Amino acid sequence: MARVKPSKVKSKRWGGARYVPKRKFCSFCSDKVEVIDYKDPSKLCSYISERGKVKPRRRTGNCAKHQRAVAVAIKRARHLALLPYVPAHIRKTGGVGIRD
């Protein structure tokens, strides 16, 4: 096997355009929301994955204070059967928090 000198290998590290991710912001802070209501499953469904898990802060962009409040609201809504616990129920109904 022929070995290539490191100086001849093009490095992607320094060449080309650099990826700069879009800055995420807390939607609750920007809207100045006082209370996150567990009785509104349509708003909470955007913070639940297709597997039924609570999405993390790095995906949603929430601040720590509001992410904790969202998690508590989702747990309360699940306890009252407003939101599903399991992904099988999500697939069966065709969405999260949709009632007919």
Tell me, what CATH number does 58's domain have? 4.10.640.10
Decide: residue 74, CB within 10 A, 0-12 exposed, 13-18 middle, 19+ buried. buried
Residue 48, SS3 per DSSP: strand
Span of 5-19, 38-52, 69-83 with lowest mean pLDDT: 5-19
In a domain, 98, yes or no: no
**Phi-psi category of 11—alpha, beta or left, where left has phi over 0 and alpha has psi -120 to 50?**
beta
pTM above 0.75, yes or no: no
* Local confidence band at 97 (pLDDT 50, 70, 90 cut-offs): low
Helix or strand (DSSP H, E) at 51? none
- Total domains present in the chain: 1
In a domain, 55, yes or no: yes
Task: Give the residue numbers spanning the domain of 62.
Answer: 27-93
In a domain, 86, yes or no: yes
In a domain, 12, yes or no: no
* Local confidence band at 86 (pLDDT 50, 70, 90 cut-offs): confident
> What whole-number distance in Å separates Cα of residue 78 and Cα of residue 75?
5
Helices (H), 20-63: 27-30, 41-44, 57-60
The pair of three-digit structure tokens given for residue 70, joined into one six-digit string: 């969202």
In a domain, 9, yes or no: no
The pair of three-digit structure tokens given for residue 38, joined into one six-digit string: 């567990």
Residue 41 CB neighbour total at 10 angstroms: 22
pLDDT tens string 20-51: 878 889 999 999 999 999 999 989 999 999 88
In a domain, 11, yes or no: no
* Local confidence band at 3 (pLDDT 50, 70, 90 cut-offs): low
In a domain, 15, yes or no: no
pLDDT recorded at residue 96: 66
In a domain, 21, yes or no: no
pLDDT recorded at residue 67: 96
